[in-house]
Structure 1
Amino acid sequence: METFLIRLLQFILAISLLVLLHEGGHMFFAKLFGVRVEKFFVFFDVGIGKWKGKLFSWKPKKDDTEYGMGWLPLGGYCKISGMIDESFDTDQMKQEPQPWEFRTKPAWQRLLIMIGGVLVNFILALFIYSMVMFVWGDSYFKVSDMSMGMRFNADAKALGFKDHDVMLGTDQGAFREYANVNGDFFRQIAQAKRVDVLRNGKKHSITLPGDLDMLSMIKTRPLFAEPFIPAQVDSVLGDTPAAKAGIKAGDLIKSINGKPVETWTDMNYQTGVLSDVLAVKNTHKDSLAVRSVVLTVQHKGAAKLDTLKLMLTPDLKLGVLQSTLASYYKPVQEEYSFFESFPAGIKHGWNVLRGYVGNFRYLASADGAKSIGGFGAIGSLFPPFWDWYMFWSMTAFLSIMLAFMNILPIPALDGGHVVFLLYEIITRRKPSEKFMVRAEYVGITILILLMIFANLNDILRWLHLM
């Protein structure tokens, strides 16, 4: 429960900040051009009965804008006079146009007002990434430094890869890090026509088609490629099955129930199989039988293997902390001065945006549609503990995501309004108000359906039905 609340708090704080600044971008340009902003709300103030749906609001003296917060945390809005938006205030549109209204301003001013929110989100993301670089620097494990190489699945081996190949680069350049929020490592392989590896101390080149399915590479288990991390125990937790069996830090797990184990991926896969079996067992006796396992272990410094019989915990835990990349490799740490952080942050932000846009095309596939997530999926991206580095990195990523999604040419989104304004600028013909209202209804319907679909995916994943 505590981890859920920590994630929820981070999610609400990040979304509130992004919505506030996004809508602030619209309001900035609106007031710059003398357009009246009637309401500026974080979250929606949907009324229920006589209650107007406001958690609080205030209206400063000599200001036409009412500021406040609604109760429905699905975004926010900036109600601009003389504009057809999600409020569907058509009564206002029937009145005589006023000089302070959106509809009376030149098309180029209206265009800037509409892209103001997206512009702020892009700039905010680049600024946050820059400050992250300045405060924490950039730390990563360089792929070519992983001397134990990679572990590949059957699909990768069919293309010519072999376990323990050290990945050097492709015809597009050298690999940087194994994985980040965009999966650049997999994207580079998917688009490559040649991958260079170090095999037994010699450089080899593997020819690829250049159009591999990156989504499949990431979703398939085991993964297309992942760092080879031996199933070596980092440390043992007290009063656990491992501690009682005499397992110690540095020991290597070689098999479980006769199934060979080389890496922690192997071990986790086998305990996953046991979990599936346990899910269909109805009696306590059957449960105990599944939890009772036989391990072969090579103790640290010993040449022979030791066979151990032990009882896993009810959730099939052994009671050890697994070794990680940090157990074997030293990360590359890059530090930046205040002024150096800006080009580094902008470059990183641009790569994140490019990766996110590149991944967007996979949503048209069946697997891509299943990967769409709602509030639960987004919230789970935050760590189950408070970490300012992760919080700001995720906030910057969500800012880029919000900007890109809002600029899509869907009616009711900023991008939809931009399309209609560009049409007006090019043809010098303004779409009718009747058409704009209908387009807004269509856009709202599309967004609601997408929201339902995304959150339904979250529920199905939570129920282990997807």
Structure 2
Amino acid sequence: MEGLVMAAQLLLGLSILVGLHELGHLVAAKMFGMRVEQYYIGFPPKVFGFRFGETEYNLGAIPLGGFVKISGMIDESLDTEKLSEEPKEWEFRAKPAWQRLIVMMGGIIINVVTGIIIFIILTYQFGDTYLPKEEVVKYGIVAHDLGKEIGLETGDKITQVNGHDYQSFSDLVDAEVFLGDSSYYTVERNGQTLEVPIPRGFLDKLSDKESISNFIDPRFPYEVLDVVKGSNAEKAGLQAGDKIVSVNGQSVTYFDELQYFLKENSGKEVTLKVVRKPENDAEPIINEAETLTAEVEEDGTLGFHTKQLVDLGFTDYTFAQAIPKGTEEAFNIVWVSIRGIGKIFSGEVSASKSISGPIGIAQIFGGTWDWVRFWRMTGLLSMVLAFTNFLPIPALDGGHVAFLTYEIVSGRKPSDKFLEGAQKVGMVILLSLMTFAIFNDIFKLFF
């Protein structure tokens, strides 16, 4: 079921973005009097279609892209049959270079605008909930395997990143930190201040969701939020509001400590000391802790959800404030993409760990339908789609933009034969990249 939800979110998100992208080309072309023969969301064979005016609007069976076919344009269809004839006034090739440039930029512009609008609305509607630096420094961090690998330890209090202050825990794991050439954390440990460098190319080890969760987490005290019905926690007598203060006599303050002790006793019976919240919501008394006996599941759990006892920060934005904030967040995605590609070409980050195809993207959407996460991912993909389409690769919009810019600057138009050849080369490059991404997804899924 989770796989179906992932696939459905991916297809809906891509259909929206591709539809808008191609609509940008279509509207710009019609604005300059060009004839648009076909508008496709997806690729043939056709599932559904209708004709309106001179244009046929279609939904294709292969939902991994889309296109518009503009008369007199050398595109992925490689339909060059009529190029030997004199250009008609309604053909793409008959229009001035600046008009053709706007048509090719239409899809990119629409994707950028879509991404910005999504992030502005999300910022305005939901604000920003975060774990403030004060709480991170108060309780420290939990260092998992990758965190320990670079020298971090559980309980470390990270006070600065690259010598600068930070606002929230998310700033500690922001892509900007790992894209730097000499990044480091300033840490307080056992009353001493030290620097923990982040190795070059470390981003390569944080290339997927599982790896990121194996880096660091915030440390926090906790209490039981609710108990799963029929679980071992319920059988033991745990209740909402309880705090487990020891497991088999070993003191527990933070949730990561509880997880450790429970995993150490997987499949075994444990003795729990529990401080129960009084009914009048007064502060519980440690000396009045109750003793419970519980059977730990094989996966090291008891069957309850936790409430983090930390003070979260929240920033609410007016619509006017959300405009620059949302725009900044949208363009930050483009900036991170540019730096990430630079790291791939420099060899610091491997392409196999950084490039994801449809399976990898679907996994990021997640197996449960969350509209906020869906629109955040769709906004991110919109900006990524705009960026990748702007790359100067023939067959992409950016390739057409590069040739048209050359024509405007030099006053000379590349020959139709050259453009046809470039289109073929570009299609080979794109098909190779798509094949690599899909097989790379499959490899990461099973190996």
Structure 1 residues 212 and 85: CA distance shift in structure 2, 3 A = closer
Deviations 1:363-412 (A, max 9, x none): 45564413422212212222433333222211111101111111122221
Report what 2:3 is aligned to: 4
Counterpart code for 1:59: R
Report what 1:360 is aligned to: 341
Counterpart code for 2:362: G
Deviations 1:53-107 (A, max 9, x none): 22222222xx321112111101111111111111111112232211211112222
The answer to whether the Cα contact below 8 Å between 2:142 and 2:256 also exists between their aligned partners in 1 is no
Aligned residue among 156, 160, 172 for 1:169: 160
Displacement of 1:153 after TM fit?
5.2
Tell me the SS of whatever aligns to 1:163.
coil
Structure 1 residues 98 and 347: CA distance shift in structure 2, 3 A = same
The answer to whether the Cα contact below 8 Å between 1:254 and 1:262 also exists between their aligned partners in 2 is no
Structure 1 residues 461 and 243: CA distance shift in structure 2, 3 A = farther
Structure 1 residues 354 and 85: CA distance shift in structure 2, 3 A = same
Counterpart code for 2:165: A
Tell me the SS of whatever aligns to 1:31.
helix
Counterpart code for 1:417: H
Report what 2:205 is aligned to: 216
Aligned residue among 335, 346, 353 for 2:327: 346
* Ranges in structure 2 where 5+ consecutive residues have no aligned partner: 276-285
Displacement of 1:233 after TM fit?
5.1
Structure 1 residues 423 and 11: CA distance shift in structure 2, 3 A = same
The answer to whether residue 195 in structure 2 is matched with residue 206 in structure 1 is yes
Report what 1:151 is aligned to: 142
Structure 1 residues 192 and 151: CA distance shift in structure 2, 3 A = farther
Report what 2:90 is aligned to: 100
Aligned residue among 370, 376, 391 for 1:387: 370
How far apart, in 2, do the equivalents of 1:339 and 1:111 lie?
A: 32
- Percent of aligned pairs with the same amino acid: 32
How far apart, in 2, do the equivalents of 1:329 and 1:412 lie?
A: 51
Q: Counterparts in 2 of 1:16-95, with a 5 A limit?
A: 16-44=15-43, 46=44, 53-60=45-52, 63-95=53-85
Q: State the TM-score, normalized to the length of structure 2.
A: 0.82
Structure 1 residues 215 and 440: CA distance shift in structure 2, 3 A = same
Report what 1:433 is aligned to: 416
The answer to whether residue 267 in structure 2 is matched with residue 292 in structure 1 is yes
Displacement of 1:253 after TM fit?
8.6
The answer to whether the Cα contact below 8 Å between 2:204 and 2:353 also exists between their aligned partners in 1 is no
How far apart, in 2, do the equivalents of 1:13 and 1:120 lie?
A: 17
The answer to whether residue 287 in structure 2 is matched with residue 312 in structure 1 is no
Displacement of 1:178 after TM fit?
2.6
The answer to whether the Cα contact below 8 Å between 1:186 and 1:214 also exists between their aligned partners in 2 is no
Structure 1 residues 266 and 113: CA distance shift in structure 2, 3 A = farther
* Ranges in structure 1 where 5+ consecutive residues have no aligned partner: 47-52, 275-289
Structure 1 residues 335 and 230: CA distance shift in structure 2, 3 A = closer
Counterpart code for 2:325: A
Aligned residue among 361, 378, 387 for 2:361: 378
Displacement of 1:248 after TM fit?
5.4
Q: Counterparts in 2 of 1:106-185, with a 5 A limit?
A: 106-146=96-136, 147-152=138-143, 161-171=152-162, 173-179=164-170, 183-184=173-174
Structure 1 residues 185 and 112: CA distance shift in structure 2, 3 A = closer
User: Which region of structure 1 is more displaced relative to structure 2, 378-387 or 359-368?
Assistant: 359-368
Displacement of 1:114 after TM fit?
1.0
The answer to whether the Cα contact below 8 Å between 1:297 and 1:308 also exists between their aligned partners in 2 is yes
The answer to whether the Cα contact below 8 Å between 2:42 and 2:64 also exists between their aligned partners in 1 is yes
The answer to whether the Cα contact below 8 Å between 1:294 and 1:307 also exists between their aligned partners in 2 is no
Tell me the SS of whatever aligns to 2:356.
coil
User: Which region of structure 1 is more displaced relative to structure 2, 126-135 or 415-424?
Assistant: 415-424
Tell me the SS of whatever aligns to 1:359.
helix
Report what 1:286 is aligned to: none
Tell me the SS of whatever aligns to 1:292.
coil
The answer to whether the Cα contact below 8 Å between 1:165 and 1:199 also exists between their aligned partners in 2 is yes
Q: CA RMSD in A?
A: 3.7
Displacement of 1:195 after TM fit?
3.9
The answer to whether residue 320 in structure 2 is matched with residue 335 in structure 1 is no
Report what 2:403 is aligned to: 420
The answer to whether the Cα contact below 8 Å between 1:231 and 1:264 also exists between their aligned partners in 2 is no
Give the paired residue count: 429
The answer to whether the Cα contact below 8 Å between 1:255 and 1:261 also exists between their aligned partners in 2 is no
User: Which region of structure 1 is more displaced relative to structure 2, 186-195 or 141-150?
Assistant: 186-195
Tell me the SS of whatever aligns to 2:195.
strand
Deviations 1:160-208 (A, max 9, x none): 655323333334642233338x9526626955556444556x7846274
Tell me the SS of whatever aligns to 1:16.
helix
How far apart, in 1, do the equivalents of 2:179 and 2:110 lie?
A: 33
How far apart, in 2, do the equivalents of 1:151 and 1:302 lie?
A: 28
Q: Counterparts in 2 of 1:224-243, with a 5 A limit?
A: 224-229=215-220, 234-243=225-234
How far apart, in 2, do the equivalents of 1:162 and 1:254 lie?
A: 22
Counterpart code for 2:227: V
Q: Counterparts in 2 of 1:239-254, with a 5 A limit?
A: 239-245=230-236, 250-252=242-244
The answer to whether the Cα contact below 8 Å between 1:253 and 1:261 also exists between their aligned partners in 2 is yes
The answer to whether the Cα contact below 8 Å between 1:190 and 1:214 also exists between their aligned partners in 2 is no
